[in-house]
Chains A and B, each alone.
Chain A
Amino acid sequence: MESVLGRYRNLIVLVGVLFLQVLGLAVQVKRTTENEPTRLIRIWTVSTVTPLEKGLVSIQRGIRNLWHNYFFLRGVRAENRELKQEIERLRLQQVRLSEDAEQARRLQTLLAFKEQFISKTVAAQVIGSSGSEQSRSIYIDKGAHDGIAPDMAVITADGIVGKVMRVFRSTSLVLLIDDQSSGVGAILAKSRLQGVLHGRPSGEVVLEKIMNDEPVQAGEPVLTSGGDQIFPKGLPVGTVSKAFKGSESFLDIRVRPAANLSKLEEVLVIAQKEERAPSLSQTAPVRAVDVLAGRLPSVPDKPATEDPNKTGTTSAKTPVVGSTASQSAQGSAELTPKPTPANVARNKSVGNASPSSNQSGLPASPTPSDSPASHSRQLSRKPTTVAAPNNAANGMPSAAKPDQRKPDQPKQDQPKQDQPKRDQPGQDQTPSEDKPQ
């Protein structure tokens, strides 16, 4: 017996070591459905390897910054010129897009539509990879100490990267979207078809679960659908590079990731998301109903009053001041100036003009929110309303005096019937011009 053991000692040791590892594997595979604690060997290995990686990456970055920021500045002027042109172009584009966004937000508010907002992100440096083709994952230099937790989304400016898989004290393991065990809820931007994004063993990214009879074309952008509860909706994922009929009843759609997954340097971890109904921004406090009201035909204005004594009552009962839709939307608690010709004219042109900006009865002086166009409109327009009683005595229209109003003066003072003028031929449609439609 002893001779047998001695003769096959090495083989027995081999079988024993293999058996132990298989046993360990079996235990781990069984436990993957539960909350698997981090294995000690992982902590040791990661703690040993990642400090070296961190150090090397920071040295590499320092050298690169030194070179790019101080030595290699060729073509910077030309680039600067191009960037300025690009800024100008983007500014114009931003104006258009912000109006579209505001309108969308207003409509979403009406529908009580809730959306996810990224409220906190943590910037992280990529310091290493798993080093295996079968495990497409990276290490970042932020961990539990920095508020990172498992299942947080990781993105770049170009698109999504992956999700946090394991968190250590000062590092984290991020599973990339091209790994075969990853899964991302995705939607095709044009056709609005939803599917699941997976990685293939070869490293390709595919969009699955879209039926064969759906029209999908190459080049179509793919966005996150938000269905996975990890990535907020609408983040860029990539573009369709190829789409053809699969072996089953689903299409085989290959996706080219928007983020360059093979050359990641810095990433953003979405540390906090919040789900809330969109609120109207202060820059355009316009309700959709106001915008719609502005587009509807309505009764034209009455001519200016004939009796100065009645002016006070007229102005109180029939407020014809050019209040904008925004003003009417600002709520009753907001103090507004009494209608005078001065602020009438101003309000016609600028929705939120300051009441103290005009003391002479002339058209409102320019304020930061005034535009040259609005001034030209003011000058060409006759006041269509009457002066407030306190200003009518001297015959000169004067500026509104908010401090003379009663503090509890209700919102009825705020005129609401400016809409009729819009539909009169030859008149400005100032409120609607000043507000995004």
Chain B
Amino acid sequence: MPITYTSGEQVEVYRFSVPATILIPLIALFLQAWLPLGLHFFSIFDLPLLVTIAFAMARRGQISGLLTGAVIGLLQDSLTHHPIGVFGIAKTVVGYGASSLGVKLDVENVGTRFLVTLLFYVVHETVYFMVARGLVGLKLEWSWPHELWSALANALVGVALFAVLDKFKQRTCSL
């Protein structure tokens, strides 16, 4: 029995249908690539990251979480001109962490979702920054105000997105 901070005795585990598993990340990638053309500020959001966190927390499986993160991250890398794997590594770590935390927290709570998204956005940026600078040699600048504002914005969007993704969840079992 895992230690949980949920009010109930059991932790719900959900799954997503195959079409939802494929289409939701693709739509997130598409919107991420298309919306900044008209709305330039949209590039501060990271929809693929939010989908990774949502999937990982709903499934509550570490392997499925890290694999989801890896695939979404690699796809996101494919759209950039940087080497493939920078987003992949960052999202793998986030997927693993979010699914690990999802087992121990009441992820149905809006406040929890907000804080988890805030935390994992910073984790994601930190890992991305380290990999990009250390392995790829990109000259990135770390700006705490910018990262915190972005984390806040992503957390707010994340809460809304989780509510939408709840509609696609299918309950499988209880841990």
| Contacts from A to B (Cβ < 8 Å) | 9-10, 13-14, 17-18, 21-22, 24-26, 28-29, 32, 39, 41-42, 44-46, 48-49, 52-53, 56-57, 126-135, 137-139, 165-166, 173, 175, 179-181, 200-202, 262-264
In residues 47-92 of chain B, which contact A (Cβ within 8 Å)? 62-63, 66-67, 70, 74-76, 78-89, 92
Q: Are A129 and B43 in contact (CB under 8 A)?
A: yes
Residue numbers in B under 8 Å from A130 (CB-CB): 33, 79-81
The reply to whether the CB of B44 lies closer than 8 angstroms to some CB of chain A is yes
Please state if A132 and B137 are interface contacts (CB–CB under 8 Å). no
CA distance A173 to B93 in the complex (A): 28
Question: A48 to B84, Cβ gap below 8 A?
Answer: no
Q: Is the CB of A56 within 8 A of B34?
A: yes
Given known contacts A53-B34, A134-B140, is B84 in contact with A24 (CB within 8 Å)?
A: yes
B-chain residues with CB within 8 Å of residue A262 when the two chains form the complex: 40
Docked CA distance A14–B88 (Å): 12
CB pairs A–B below 8 angstroms (30 shown): A10-B63, A14-B96, A17-B67, A21-B74, A21-B89, A22-B89, A25-B83, A25-B135, A28-B85, A45-B79, A48-B26, A49-B30, A49-B33, A49-B79, A52-B30, A131-B36, A132-B79, A132-B87, A133-B43, A134-B80, A138-B37, A139-B33, A166-B81, A180-B138, A181-B138, A201-B141, A262-B40, A263-B37, A263-B38, A264-B37
B81→A131 contact, CB < 8 A:
no
Annotate B132-157 by CB proximity to A: 1 below 8 A, 0 otherwise. 10011111110100000000000000
Tell me whether A29 and B43 are in contact in the complex, defined as CB-CB below 8 angstroms, given that A21-B70, A21-B89, A202-B141 are known contacts: no
Residues of A within 8 A of B70 (CB): 17, 21
Q: List A contacts of B139 (CB < 8 A).
A: 180, 201
A321, chain B: closest CB distance, angstroms: 65
Q: Separation in Å of the B128 CB from the closest CB of chain A?
A: 8
A9, A10, A32, A46 — which one has the most chain B CB atoms within 10 A of its CB?
A10
From A22, A52, A126, contact of B135 by CB (8 A): A22
- B89 contacts which chain A residues (CB < 8 A)? 18, 21-22, 25
Docked CA distance A42–B80 (Å): 9
Interface of B is mostly: helix
Picked from A13, A22, A44, the residue with its CB within 8 Å of the CB of B66 is: A13
* Docked-complex contact A126 and B37, CB < 8 angstroms: yes
* A135 near B92: Cβ-Cβ < 8 Å: no
A131 CA to B93 CA in the complex, in Å?
A: 20
Chain B: minimal CB distance from A389 (Å)? 77
Query: Is the C-beta of B32 less than 8 angstroms from some C-beta in chain A?
Result: yes
Number of interface residues of B (CB under 8 A): 46
Query: Whole-angstrom distance from the CB of B97 to the nearest CB of chain A?
Result: 10
**A46–B79 CB distance below 8 A:** yes
The answer to whether B135 and A26 touch across the interface, beta carbons within 8 angstroms, is yes
| B65 shortest CB reach to chain A, Å | 9
Taking a contact as CB atoms closer than 8 A, the residue among B66, B74, B92, B137 that contacts A41 in the complex is: B74
Cβ–Cβ < 8 Å partners of A41 in chain B: 74-75, 78, 84
Q: Is the CB of A134 within 8 A of B132?
A: yes
Looking at the assembled complex, report how far the CB atom of B164 sits from the nearest CB atom of chain A, in whole angstroms.
19
Q: How far is the CA of A80 from the CA of B86 in the complex (A)?
A: 52
Q: Which of A53, A133, A175 contacts B33 (CB 8 A)?
A: A53
- Cα(A138)–Cα(B62), bound, Å: 34
- Taking CB atoms, residues of chain A closer than 8 Å to B92 are 14, 17-18, 21
Q: Which residue of B lies closest to A31 (CB)?
A: B83
Task: Report whether B80 and A137 are in contact in the complex, using a CB–CB cutoff of 8 Å.
Answer: yes
Instruction: List the A residue with the shortest CB-CB distance to B43.
Output: A133
CA distance A9 to B61 in the complex (A): 12
Question: Which residues between 21 and 46 of chain B lie within 8 Å of chain A, taking CB atoms?
Answer: 26, 29-30, 32-34, 36-38, 40, 43-44
Alpha-carbon distance between A56 and B43 when the two chains are bound, in angstroms: 19
Please indicate the chain B residues that have their CB under 8 angstroms from the CB of A127 in the complex. 34, 37
Q: How distant is A196 from chain B, measured CB to nearest CB, in Å?
A: 15
B72 to chain A, nearest CB (A): 11
Q: Is B13 an interface residue (CB 8 A)?
A: no
Smallest Cβ-Cβ distance to B45: which chain A residue: A131
Q: Which of A17, A18, A25, A49 contacts B86 (CB 8 A)?
A: A25
Report the bound CA distance from A201 to B62 in whole Å: 33
Check A39 against B78 for contact (C-beta < 8 Å). Answer: yes
Answer whether residue B131 sits at the interface, using C-beta atoms and an 8 A cutoff.
yes
What residue of chain B has the Cβ atom nearest to residue A44's Cβ? B78
Contacts of A18 in B (CB 8 A): 89, 92-93
Q: What is the CA–CA distance of A33 and B155 in the complex, to the nearest angstrom?
A: 39
9 nearest A-B pairs in the assembled complex, by CB-CB distance = A135-B80, A45-B78, A131-B32, A10-B62, A28-B83, A25-B85, A262-B40, A131-B33, A128-B33
Contacts A10-B63, A17-B70, A42-B84 supplied; 5 other A-B pairs, CB < 8 Å: A21-B88, A21-B92, A134-B128, A179-B81, A180-B138
- Nearest CB of chain A from residue B57's CB, rounded to whole Å: 15
A10 to B36, CA, bound (A): 36
**B91-107 interface bits toward A, Cβ cutoff 8 Å, 1 = contact, 0 = none:** 01100100000000000
User: Which residue from B26, B29, B80, B135 sits with its C-beta under 8 Å from A29?
Assistant: B135
B contact residues around A13 at 8 Å (CB): 62-63, 66
Let me know if A42 and B78 touch, CB within 8 A. Answer: yes
